[in-house]
Amino acid sequence: MDDIVGIDLGTTNSLIGVMDSGFPILIADSEGHRLMPSVVYFPKEAEPVVGRPAERMRAVAPEQTVYSVKRLMGYRPGESEKNDFSYPVKHTGGRTVLEVNGRTLRPEEVSALILRKLRANAAAALGREVDRAVITVPAYFNDLQRQATKQAGELAGLTVERIINEPTAAALAYGLDRLSDKSKIAVYDFGGGTFDISILELHNGVFRVLATNGNTRLGGDDIDRELVRLLKDRLTGRYPELRADLEDVVFTARLRQIAHDAKLRLSEEMAVQIEIPFVSKAQSFSYLLSRQELEAVARPIVRRTRAHCLRSLDDAKLDAHQLDEVILAGGVTRMPVVRQFVAELFQRLPNIGQNPDEAVAVGATIQAGMLSGQVQNVVLLDVTPLSLGIETFGGLMNVIIPRNSTIPCKAGEMFTNAVANQRSMQIKVLQGERELAKDNWQLGSFEIEFDPAPKGTARVGVQFEIDANGILHVLARDTKSGRQKEVDLSSAVDVSDEAVEKMIAESLDQAFADMAERVWTETVLKSNELLPAVRSALMLVGHQLTAEERDRIAGLVREVESALTTHHVHRLKAANEALDKGTQHLATLLIDRAMAEAAKRKR
Ligand code: ADP
Ligand code: MG
């Protein structure tokens, strides 16, 4: 049988599963553990050690033990200057490498070692090789990071059949296909290094992603770090002379281990006794850490998930009470303070029917089962990450498909010519959230020709369609001649999540500036309409005005012309209005003339 395995390649822990007689089964290692720490220890002259034994080396040999390598996958130099790893990480020539015990390694290579170990565990348990896999990534992973993950799989000898988002996998694991029709589900996934929130809708056995949001640098590691800081404070409080010694790398790693173990126990107990036998040669340290103290340091970190949750609800156009289910994933959601926070935020008790740290792997396995044909009747749909539109008069963005629309989708709009006798129109296809075309990304551009027509009378329909594969088809048709042109743009939906985040953040930052720019552009367009109209009216009927009236209008025209050079929107608006008002007599003369001519023609 041709198995496909499901893999949760986590920042902290990784798991592997396979479908067995229609059920997703997670595979345990020879010691019976399903959760494998994503840690690799590199001894000086022996083969790398992966998983639980490597985790134990973190405190002993922090500089030779690589953890949280997922944070470095597809790392872009300059993304974050902060380097808080206990092993040497170098960013050279646009690449990230780890230098451990004389070895130079790319993050993908370390991830490949983790995947190879999982694969070996699976082969040992199944009694046959596995070489096809589904691997999960956080929803906010960008293209580079997804690619790096795929590469890691290939380096481990796996064909990566699909990369799927972790929250989507978690939803599958909770068996949400059993819910009643039209259910809405929030997936709150808080792991060691990443936070993800997704809003899904289930309808007639079909999952639809309504919105996703998250942060790739927020997780239980942050809680550990804060707890280490707290313990160091308590230590220096008692032994001020040890302040410098506490910054020692080995000691910090040891303290982190102690803090971490205490944190896990405090999910069950109200207080734990912390013992550090030899802080220095002479002293030992013992301290009763309460759940309350842990929660005080954890709460601000947990609260940082709030904004992401609210934003995703907003994107999905839902209120918390409209959700039918909130599910938990990631080990951090075992903490009572997290469950309480989620319950308050979403105004309901979260579903805890799954082991939160196994949910993603179970879902990946179900997805693998779908690909190999062992699971049917579930389809996953996606949403457009950014708005799609075309550039219109004055360089403005005209949105045709708004962001977060469900794929597949189709939408269209009618456009006209800005200039009389124009023979063609340039269709510039744009993606982004900014008001001005130039601030968005241009995906492509083409020209549609049409029959010459007076200004504003041509009718060009533009239709955008995104198919199930995420490919954008743009169709433009001149409705008079029936002439049409079609262009396919495949890159449309496939932009990196990081770029999307940046675009959205910028559009929020720039909202006021953009609006001002849009108002200015529209005011300029108004002037550009008024000025030629006034000039041609003056030519036709100007002689019927008094010299005084003509001077006054000339003055108003000059004011519009000079306001145009200032970028001063209020001044231009006022000048437009004054010119509009001040030429009312001129306009009636023009109408009288037109009527007289019409009457003449009739006679
Ligand atoms: P990842 O997806 O990043 O690999 P996991 O879902 O395995 O992470 O979650 C790991 C995180 O969950 C770690 O920060 C770990 O300390 C934390 N965690 C695991 N179990 C518990 C628990 N019982 N109480 C509190 N935190 C826990
Ligand atoms: Mg995870």
Q: Is the pLDDT of residue 207 over 70?
A: no
pLDDT tens digit sequence for 533-559: 898 888 888 899 899 999 999 999 999
| Average pLDDT for 2-18 | 94
Task: Determine whether the shortest distance from the Cβ of 34 to ligand 1 is under 6 A.
Answer: no
Q: Is the pLDDT of residue 28 over 50?
A: yes
Q: Give yes or no: 8 in active site.
A: yes
Chain-centroid distance of CA 21 in Å reads 36
Q: Is the pLDDT of residue 603 over 70?
A: no
Q: Give yes or no: 70 in active site.
A: yes
Task: Determine whether the shortest distance from the Cβ of 37 to ligand 1 is under 6 A.
Answer: no
Beta strand 13-20 with 23-26: parallel, antiparallel or unpaired? antiparallel
Ligand nearest to the CA of 356: 1
512-602 fold: Substrate Binding Domain Of Dnak; Chain:A; Domain 2 (1.20.1270)
Spacing, Cα 370 to ligand 2 middle (Å): 21
Atom of ligand 1 nearest to the CA of 260: 16
Task: Determine whether the shortest distance from the Cβ of 153 to ligand 1 is under 6 A.
Answer: no
Q: Give yes or no: 509 in active site.
A: no
pLDDT given at position 556: 94
Task: Determine whether the shortest distance from the Cβ of 260 to ligand 1 is under 6 A.
Answer: yes
User: What's the angle, vertex CA 105, arms to CA 102 and CA 109, rounded to 5?
Assistant: 140
Distance CA 155, CA 153 (A): 5
Q: Is the pLDDT of residue 81 over 50?
A: no
| Average pLDDT for 572-600 | 86
User: According to CATH, where is 1.20.1270.10 located in the chain?
Assistant: 512-602
Task: Determine whether the shortest distance from the Cβ of 334 to ligand 1 is under 6 A.
Answer: yes
Question: In which band, very low, low, confident or very high, does the pLDDT at 468 lie, cut at 50, 70 and 90?
Answer: low
Q: Give me 85's structure tokens.
A: 């790893």
Task: Determine whether the shortest distance from the Cβ of 357 to ligand 1 is under 6 A.
Answer: yes
The residue whose CA has the least distance to atom 18 of ligand 1 is 331
Beta strand 159-165 with 132-137: parallel, antiparallel or unpaired? parallel
Which CATH code for domain 5-166? 3.30.420.40
Atom of ligand 1 nearest to the CA of 267: 24
Q: Which CATH number fits domain 175-353: 3.40.50.2000, 3.40.1190.10, 1.10.260.40, 3.30.420.40?
A: 3.30.420.40
Task: Determine whether the shortest distance from the Cβ of 216 to ligand 1 is under 6 A.
Answer: no
The residue whose CA has the least distance to atom 7 of ligand 1 is 13
User: What's the angle, vertex CA 502, arms to CA 497 and CA 506, rounded to 5?
Assistant: 150
Spacing, Cα 166 to ligand 2 middle (Å): 7
Spacing, Cα 183 to ligand 2 middle (Å): 24
At position 45, the amino acid (one-letter code) is E
Residue 430: name the closest of 384, 376, 387 by CA. 387
The residue whose CA has the least distance to atom 19 of ligand 1 is 331
The residue whose CA has the least distance to atom 16 of ligand 1 is 220
Spacing, Cα 501 to ligand 1 middle (Å): 26
User: What's the angle, vertex CA 390, arms to CA 386 and CA 392, rounded to 5?
Assistant: 135
Q: How many CB atoms lie within 10 A of CB 342?
A: 23
- Among the ranges given (49-58, 97-106, 162-171, 490-499), the one the predictor scored with the smallest mean pLDDT: 490-499
Q: Is the pLDDT of residue 233 over 70?
A: yes
Catalytic site residue from 3, 29, 70, 224: 70
Which residues make up the environment of ion ligand 2, defined by Cβ < 5 Å?
10, 191
Spacing, Cα 22 to ligand 1 middle (Å): 28
378-507 fold: Substrate Binding Domain Of DNAk; Chain A, domain 1 (2.60.34)
| Average pLDDT for 263-286 | 89
Q: Is 593 left (phi over 0), alpha (psi -120 to 50) or beta?
A: alpha
- Compute the mean pLDDT over every residue in the chain, rounded to the nearest whole number: 86
Q: Give yes or no: 358 in active site.
A: no
Alpha-helical regions (H) of 158-304:
166-173, 220-238, 249-265, 291-303
- Residue 430 contacts by C-beta under 8 Å, 6 or more apart in sequence? 388, 389, 390, 391, 397, 437, 440, 441, 442, 443
Q: Is the pLDDT of residue 77 over 60?
A: no
User: According to CATH, where is 3.30.420.40 located in the chain?
Assistant: 5-166, 175-353
Pocket test for ligand 1, best of 8, 13, 194, 196 (most atoms within 8 A of CB): 13
Percent over 90 (pLDDT), the chain: 43
Pocket test for ligand 1, best of 12, 224, 334 (most atoms within 8 A of CB): 12
- Among the ranges given (57-66, 195-204, 511-520, 581-590), the one the predictor scored with the smallest mean pLDDT: 511-520
Question: In which band, very low, low, confident or very high, does the pLDDT at 379 lie, cut at 50, 70 and 90?
Answer: low
- In 270-368, where do the E strands start and end? 271-276, 285-290, 325-329
Task: Determine whether the shortest distance from the Cβ of 220 to ligand 1 is under 6 A.
Answer: yes
At position 416, the amino acid (one-letter code) is T
pLDDT tens digit sequence for 297-341: 999 999 999 999 999 999 999 999 999 999 999 999 999 999 999
Task: Determine whether the shortest distance from the Cβ of 10 to ligand 1 is under 6 A.
Answer: yes
pLDDT given at position 601: 75
Task: Determine whether the shortest distance from the Cβ of 331 to ligand 1 is under 6 A.
Answer: yes
Atom of ligand 1 nearest to the CA of 268: 23
pLDDT given at position 37: 97
The residue whose CA has the least distance to atom 23 of ligand 1 is 264
The residue whose CA has the least distance to atom 13 of ligand 1 is 192
- Among the ranges given (18-22, 143-147, 353-357), the one the predictor scored with the smallest mean pLDDT: 143-147
Task: Determine whether the shortest distance from the Cβ of 332 to ligand 1 is under 6 A.
Answer: yes
Burial degree of 298 (CB within 10 A; 0-12, 13-18, 19+)? buried
Residue 122: name the closest of 5, 21, 12, 1 by CA. 5
pLDDT tens digit sequence for 63-73: 999 998 998 88
pLDDT given at position 444: 85
Cis-peptide into 43, omega within 30 deg: no
Alpha-helical regions (H) of 406-458:
none
